[in-house]
Amino acid sequence: MPIKILGIESSCDETSAAVISDNKILSNVIANQEVHKNYGGVVPELASRAHQKNIIPVVNSALSTANIEKNQLDAIAYTRGPGLLGSLLVGASFAKSLSLSLGIPLIEVNHMQAHLLCHFIEDNGKEKTKFPFIGVNISGGHTQIVLCHDYFKMDLIGETLDDSIGEAFDKCGKLIGLDYPAGPEIDNKSQYGDSNKFKLSIPKVKKLNFSFSGLKTSFKRCVENGLEEDQNFINTESNNLCASLQSTIIKILSEKILNAVKLTGVNNIVFGGGVSANSGIRKYFDQQEENLNVFFPKIQYTTDNAAMIAMVGYLKFKEKKFSKLELGSKARYKI
């Protein structure tokens, strides 16, 4: 009989539940929280309350879509961290109660590992990467380069020293009046813009680390200068601004990834996280000429989702890596 696991994700502003049968996803329900739109970013207290409201309907919907009764489940996997503590606690408490009441194992999952390991979800026999690979986690909360030796043997070899790559998209988007999260709209507008129109600064950061706060300042200055000349600058130039920003971000990312390949001698690259949905990044790396084997997750597994949590649950179940009920949630949790 295939192993059936319920995954629960509640680390930030998506409440999600998924059911996996061995490595095949049967359902992946995601409730986005609209409440944050008016604030230009995630408000932690509002996120926790929305998770409390969403979690039961989302889990019920995941079970019914998968056509599974609770008592057919073999384990419950949940996000232990990293993330917003209040949000994590909602998912953790729910997962623990359910595992206790059903008498089945509980499995804690590191959200950042899950963003990379979602790649192992079965997808019509599509080729998977082999270990070792370089994991590139690009999301709203993180920007990481991770040398992955095995499923649970990962070394962080580069990370951002300030803003994440997703924040670069979201904060710059806010400066030109786009709603949070601005990444998808910048992606879309970039297709109609000239990426050479505005020159933005590329930070000089040592080793495999990143910095995006200087880029944000450079973008801000570019917008302010433009507005001084023309009140309508943002309206007339928004596509060009987006295209210039996106291509600068791609330059920063590709330089670090190529350095990581040189340093490690590993040329399998696996992307994960919300920003890996970006069509410009996908196009750039799919067309690269560096002899890299590049793997992107399916779009539905890029932004936060419980399918990736259920997948890690399945991998851990096979190794009997179960968790105790008293395990605490972790706002900061190393990969």
Residues that bind ligand KG4 (CB under 6 A): 12, 139-141, 166, 169-170, 181-184, 187, 273-275, 277-278, 303-304
Stretch touching Zn ion by CB under 5 A, among 72-80, 139-147, 255-263, 326-334: 139-147
Torsion angle in degrees (nearest 10) through CA of 181, 183, 187, 188 = 0
Q: How many residues bind Zn ion (CB under 5 A)?
A: 2
275 contact choice in ligand KG4, Zn ion, none (CB below 5 to 8 Å, kind-dependent): ligand KG4
DSSP label at 292?
-
Q: How far is the CB of 142 from ligand KG4 (least distance, A)?
A: 7
Q: How far is the CB of 143 from Zn ion (least distance, A)?
A: 12
Residue 139 binds Zn ion, judged by CB under 5 A: yes
Q: How far is the CB of 167 from ligand KG4 (least distance, A)?
A: 6
310 contact choice in ligand KG4, Zn ion, none (CB below 5 to 8 Å, kind-dependent): none
Token reading at 52? 């409390």
Torsion angle in degrees (nearest 10) through CA of 274, 41, 332, 324 = -80
The set of residues, in sequence order, having a beta carbon less than 8 Å from that of 236 and lying 6+ positions away, is 230
DSSP count for the chain of H helices, then E strands: 9, 10
Q: How far is the CB of 70 from Zn ion (least distance, A)?
A: 27
For Zn ion, which is the closer residue by CB, 139 or 164? 139
For ligand KG4, which is the closer residue by CB, 180 or 198? 180
Q: Which of 42, 304, 310, 313 binds Zn ion (CB under 5 A)?
A: 304
For ligand KG4, which is the closer residue by CB, 75 or 269? 269
CB-based contact 310:6 (threshold 8 Å): yes
- What does 118-147 look like in DSSP terms, one character per residue? GGGS--TT-----SSEEEEEESSS-EEEEE
For Zn ion, which is the closer residue by CB, 79 or 248? 79
Q: How far is the CB of 114 from Zn ion (least distance, A)?
A: 8
169 contact choice in ligand KG4, Zn ion, none (CB below 5 to 8 Å, kind-dependent): ligand KG4
Among residues 2, 24, 12, the alpha carbon closest in space to that of 310 is found at 24
Distance CA 186, CA 202 (A): 19
Please count the CA atoms within 13 angstroms of the CA of 276 that sit on its side-chain side.
Answer: 29
For ligand KG4, which is the closer residue by CB, 7 or 140? 140
Distance CA 78, CA 73 (A): 14
297 contact choice in Zn ion, ligand KG4, none (CB below 5 to 8 Å, kind-dependent): none
Q: How far is the CB of 166 from ligand KG4 (least distance, A)?
A: 3
Token reading at 244? 């210039």
The per-residue b/e assignment along 97-120, b for 16 or more CB within 10 angstroms, e otherwise, is: ebbeebebbbbbbbbbbbbbbbbb
183 contact choice in ligand KG4, Zn ion, none (CB below 5 to 8 Å, kind-dependent): ligand KG4
C-alpha separations of 59 from 34, 293, 318 in Å: 19, 36, 23
For Zn ion, which is the closer residue by CB, 215 or 306? 306
Q: How far is the CB of 115 from Zn ion (least distance, A)?
A: 6
Residue 110 binds Zn ion, judged by CB under 5 A: no
Q: How far is the CB of 320 from ligand KG4 (least distance, A)?
A: 28
For ligand KG4, which is the closer residue by CB, 129 or 164? 164
Among residues 144, 170, 160, the alpha carbon closest in space to that of 278 is found at 170
Residue 302 binds Zn ion, judged by CB under 5 A: no
For ligand KG4, which is the closer residue by CB, 20 or 250? 250
Residues that bind Zn ion (CB under 5 A): 139, 304
